[in-house]
Chains A and B, each alone.
Chain A
Amino acid sequence: MWKAAFRGVFAHKLRLFLTALAVVLGVGFVTGTFVLTDTINRTFDNLFVDVTEGVDVYVRAESSFESQLGSSRESVDENLLGEVRRVEGVEAAAGSVTGYAQFIDKQGEPVTTGGAPTLGVSWYDQPKGALDIRAGRAPRGGDEVVMDAATAEAGGFEVGDTVSIITRQAPREFQIVGIAGFGNADNLGGATLAVFDLQTAQGLLEKMGRLDSIDVAAEASVDRQDLLTRLQAVVPEGVEAVASEDVAQEQADTIKGALGFFNTALLVFAGISLFVGSFIIFNTFSVVVAQRTREFALLKALGAGGRQIMAAVLVEALLVAGVASVLGLAAGFGIAGGLSALLGAFGIDLPSTNLVLLPRTVVVGLLLGIAVTLVAAVGPARKAARIAPMEALRTGLSSSAKFSRATMVAAALVIDAGIVILMVGLFLDVERTLWFVGSGALLIFLGLAGVFPLFAGAVARVVGAPVGRMGVPGRLAQRNSVRLPRRTAATAAALMVGLALVGTVSIFADSLKASTQQVVDENLFADFTVSTGGAFGAPTGLSPVIAEEIRQLDEIDSVGAIRFGQFQRERDALAFVVGADVDELTEVADIDVTQGSAGDLADGGIMLSEETADDEGVEVGGNLDVVFAATGPQSLPVVGVFANQALVGSGYLLGLDTFNANFPDAVDQQLFLTIAPGVPAEDAAEALEGIAERYPNISILDQAESREQTVSQINQLLGLVSALLGLALVIAVLGITNTLALSVFERTTELGLLRAVGMARKQARSMIRLESVIIAVMGALVGLAIGVFFGWALVTALDSEGISTLSIPGLQLAAYVAGAALAGILAAVLPARRAARLNVLDAIAHE
């Protein structure tokens, strides 16, 4: 019996290969995603451990929480340094400041980082920190800078060159006196680093007499915990002493939090791969076992028991799944590299380090591959075990597509439950919205997959109707696609899932574009907007000097500046808050004040959008309790309510003075400009050109350009998501290839007959190709129908967030269907070739 099972594995190389391929792909994509996210996390963990090397304790201002927008701490008085040095057990202590500094490369363009910060820091010798001077020497005096090795390498800078640097002050030339690195690393997770001496850094970063942190090294003999306690006793209120490992962890967590979007996206992608991969494994194995029904029937006729047959099938499945899952793990490494390259193509450069394989990844990968394969094998195995031997020998394949009432009811219930959970997540105010939406969508997909075979036949018949009129190959293709609705459904399911998601994202993005444009068109009067470019990472911000210089221009009438920060709301949730000079802001934009007065904002307090006021349950005259990172809890009077949240960019609006008081180091995020009356637009543009030349890191856009930029940013996001889903579609296409190849194998005799009675090779190819197209288009259409529903639900749910217009990109969706048809043709290339090359005689003698 066991011999039969093992023989079964190797007897049919094609089947073995296709089954294994399905498992390898499914496992590969899931582990690939895990490996990539783990690698990203490990990279940042290690990075900050490296960065804090040589320092045991940091003394710095307290912060209520870690903002994701970069430094949110006050600075400390530099006189504290002397006190710290006097504490017993301190070997060395040095003050440091950190801030914004942007290199300009030799072409006059800002050095891009793909979202990583551009840092300016101060140098110290003692304690010996992580930063090594690799060439040249440390910076001394106001005109010298040390550059990180990665930037030097990329920009072709050497010791002795001069380089222009933009800080909070106007751009200046510095002489490069040294090149630095962190141990073996050339830079810090992609960030650029400009190192100045302390006084210069304090001046450039506008922190005269202040320190961001005092870095302390302990004497070798001293217990660090004791030192920490002694330092904590010395520092004044509002200042803390923290162990370096805690700081490293905290910084790593902050960066990881900022990268949370990618991690989530990648995990969602892993989930989709898993789901789609499961379908393919399931489908392939079901087909393979069904094809061997006769073989099992023969074994039964020769006296094998049902139990033995089942065991043989399951052992075979285990064998294949085990080997293929291990291969899948290996493939996962390649896929992780591919994903990383893909992200890089979209401007998200991830620090390259060794790929990380956690035990969790191995366990999940192996479990997934083996469990899904076993589950896929159980059904057909039971069928094989139960079949009456002579019947199977006589009729061969059993292809019953009957559905029990129970299956249908269960599937319907699952769909309903999914919709309810999805709706709860979308429309009710619950925590972990994503979790609700995700599991709701998953349930809907699972349920649909359950009932899909029920209507797959009908859908395929309709989709295939035009194909059915294309001669005999078309007619046969159409009939074949409805022949085994269960198989067709399972084959199309992967594509269905992929396109449902692509459809959802497209509708979401299109609605976002439409809504944003509507708001901007109707309410923003600005002739120009000024901002720093910057793809996905937090934009680096605009030095306040720029707004000042623009205000000096005669051609410009008003300048509205917007600043961005984060504060803490209840349940530890962070919220974005906008700071602006309200008088200036209302001149360039209509925020549509519905209650109270924007003017009162200048005297302190906060304004809320209508939705936010609703959520918070406060009205004008009431107070809102918030926590600022730097300044702690405060109770702000609500002075007004505005309607136009999309334009402000947040539901919380502070006056500029209030904002600056609570956010040290704040820079402008965006400037809105209007042209002075009577000045031609060209003149204003020319005047602004002068500013843009001096600050190469900023972009000044007129209204049309600004609109284009919004659209292109959304498109870029859409592109990234689509590219990720595109990979899931690759799996789907391979799934179609897989099923088709098995179908061709299964229909060998039939193909032989067709060829014998005169079907040309070309016709055989086109028959398989058309069947593939029918399956692909069917999956796409059903998927997009679901996608439109999800998209509608999502946009409806986000109505209060400013996405008010539902826009369905019809042309784009049509293009997806065309793409699916093309994918179908691609998927059919190999199976079609196989069908066409079939040796007619072998085929006739097959049975």
Chain B
Amino acid sequence: MRNQPDAQPPDEEPEGGVTREERTEDESTTLEQPEGGGAPDGQREGAVDEPALAPIAVAARDAVKEFGEGATAVRAVDGINMEIPRGHFIAIMGPSGSGKSTLLHCLAGLDNLTAGQSFIGDAEVSALGEKERTRLRRDKVGFIFQSFNLVPTLTAMENITLPMDLAKRVPDKQWVKYLIDTVALNDRLGHMPSELSGGQQQRVAAARALASRPEIVFADEPTGNLDSRRGAELLQFLRGAVDNFGQTIVMVTHDPIAASHADAVIFLADGRVVEELIAPDVQMILDTIKNLEP
């Protein structure tokens, strides 16, 4: 793990985003030791031991992403600054074309920023090459997509351990078992994705995202294809991962109910952060959306 000062996110208070003070507060209240012996400490980076040194999970500094060139260029992300502290569940909302998915892709190292910087932990993602970004995604990032989350030729279990198998790393068996128990997939582990329901598939994806104890989980409309009950189950699972193991999750969604599970909601419009809610309920979110409509 690199620990260079210049790779640290900026110290000054970002334009949008959750402040450091709030985070520290939250951290102390939400973090619990896992139940039973099966779920060890989720903070590999030593954040618990050194809470003052590496508390930022994801950060963006003057992040800009343009598509196309010259006159036809479109700024999907237009100078975003944010810091997402460890152990929080953040939702990003905004109308179609607001740049929320693009921002997520850039933060996750799936895409390059046109200008500015982005960080995961103390690694500057925007400065990494393709190979390093792949390794970063494999080792430090978990993904949940809206659909097509699972490799169809691998069983549920193989899908869950896929990132670790790719890294030729031995999965933490107890942790994986704990996750599987939590998402109630015990009797489905040998099944192929095509034999699983949509809700089960998303739960497998969630288990995979958490299985390698990533620095951060990015979820792109994870409940978009689920009915409200399955959606709520999945969100509760994610919430639990944050509350019980200090997992950091960034979720893009346009569903106010889904967003209400988050610790904070960041609203984007035209590639900029326009609003931010702490500990929102559904009504607050709906009101904000209404206010932001032109």
Contacts and interface: CB of A to CB of B under 8 A. Distances in A.
Are A and B part of the same complex? yes
Interface of A: 471-472, 475-476, 479-480, 483, 749-750, 753-761, 763, 840-841, 844, 847
Contacts of A750: 148, 151-152
Contact of B130 (A472, A749, A761): A761
Contact of A757 (B130, B131, B163, B168): B163
A458 B183 CA distance: 34
A749 B163 contact: no
Nearest to B111: A841
30 contacts: A471-B168, A472-B162, A475-B158, A479-B153, A480-B153, A483-B153, A750-B151, A753-B148, A753-B149, A755-B134, A756-B110, A756-B137, A756-B143, A756-B145, A757-B163, A757-B166, A757-B208, A758-B134, A758-B137, A758-B138, A758-B166, A759-B138, A759-B166, A760-B134, A760-B135, A761-B131, A763-B166, A841-B110, A844-B110, A847-B147
A759 B167 CA distance: 8
A207 B134 CA distance: 87
Nearest to A754: B151
A760 B168 CA distance: 12
Given A750-B148, A750-B152, A757-B137, A841 B105 contact: yes
B214 to A, nearest CB: 10
B128 interface: no
A472 B166 contact: yes
A324 B138 CA distance: 44
Nearest to B137: A758
A18 to B, nearest CB: 23
A475 B153 CA distance: 9
B152 to A, nearest CB: 7
A847 B145 CA distance: 12
Contacts of B153: 476, 479-480, 483
Contacts of A483: 153
Contacts of B130: 761
B292 interface: no
B147 to A, nearest CB: 7
A351 B139 CA distance: 67
A749 B166 contact: no
Contacts of A847: 147-148
Nearest to A477: B153
Nearest to A482: B153
B74 interface: no
Contacts of A754: 151, 162
Closest 7 CB pairs of A and B: A758-B138, A479-B153, A472-B165, A758-B137, A758-B163, A749-B148, A757-B163
Contacts of A475: 154, 158, 165
A26 to B, nearest CB: 31
Nearest to A846: B148
Contacts of A757: 137-138, 143, 162-163, 166, 208
Contacts of B135: 758, 760
Contacts of A759: 134, 138, 166
B145 A844 contact: yes
Contacts of A472: 162, 165-166
Interface of B: 105, 108, 110-111, 130-131, 134-135, 137-139, 141, 143, 145, 147-154, 158, 162-163, 165-168, 208
Nearest to A759: B166
Nearest to A479: B153
Given A475-B165, A758-B138, 18 more contacts: A472-B166, A479-B153, A483-B153, A750-B148, A753-B148, A753-B149, A756-B108, A756-B110, A756-B145, A757-B166, A758-B135, A758-B139, A759-B134, A760-B135, A760-B138, A761-B131, A840-B110, A841-B105
A483 B110 CA distance: 28
B145 A753 contact: yes
Contacts of B158: 475
Of A471, A754, A755, A758, which is in contact with the most chain B CB atoms at under 10 Å from its CB? A758
Contacts of A479: 153-154
Nearest to B212: A758
A723 B167 CA distance: 44
B201 to A, nearest CB: 12
A483 B151 CA distance: 12
Nearest to B220: A844
B36 to A, nearest CB: 28
Contacts of B208: 757
A139 to B, nearest CB: 79
Nearest to B208: A757
Nearest to B130: A761
Nearest to A758: B138
Contacts of B143: 756-757
Contact of B134 (A753, A761, A844): A761
A714 B145 CA distance: 63
B166 A760 contact: yes
Of B145, B149, B158, B166, which is in contact with the most chain A CB atoms at under 10 Å from its CB? B166
Contacts of B148: 749-750, 753, 847
A133 B275 CA distance: 102
Nearest to A847: B148
Nearest to B155: A479
A739 B217 CA distance: 36
B259 to A, nearest CB: 22
B156 to A, nearest CB: 14
A39 B60 CA distance: 72
Contacts of B147: 847
Contacts of B139: 758
A756 B135 CA distance: 10
Given A756-B137, A756-B143, A758-B166, A476 B154 contact: yes
Contacts of B151: 476, 750, 753-754
Contacts of B166: 472, 757-760, 763
Contacts of A749: 148
Contact of B167 (A480, A756, A758, A844): A758
A750 B154 CA distance: 11
A749 B130 CA distance: 19
B167 to A, nearest CB: 7
Contacts of A480: 153
Nearest to B112: A841
A240 to B, nearest CB: 77
Contacts of B138: 757-760
Contacts of B134: 755, 758-761
Nearest to B167: A758
A844 B102 CA distance: 12
Nearest to A747: B152
Nearest to B139: A758
A755 B136 CA distance: 11
Contacts of A755: 134
B114 to A, nearest CB: 14
Of B108, B137, B141, B151, which is in contact with the most chain A CB atoms at under 10 Å from its CB? B151
B66 to A, nearest CB: 14
Of A754, A756, A757, A840, which is in contact with the most chain B CB atoms at under 10 Å from its CB? A757
Contacts of A753: 145, 148-151
A752 to B, nearest CB: 8
A501 B150 CA distance: 42
B108 to A, nearest CB: 8
Contacts of A476: 151, 153-154
A273 to B, nearest CB: 34
Contacts of A760: 131, 134-135, 138, 166
B252 to A, nearest CB: 13
Nearest to B209: A757
A840 B106 CA distance: 12
A668 B147 CA distance: 82
A770 to B, nearest CB: 13
A757 B217 CA distance: 11
A759 B130 CA distance: 11
A539 to B, nearest CB: 60
A409 B143 CA distance: 49
A471 to B, nearest CB: 7
A753 to B, nearest CB: 6
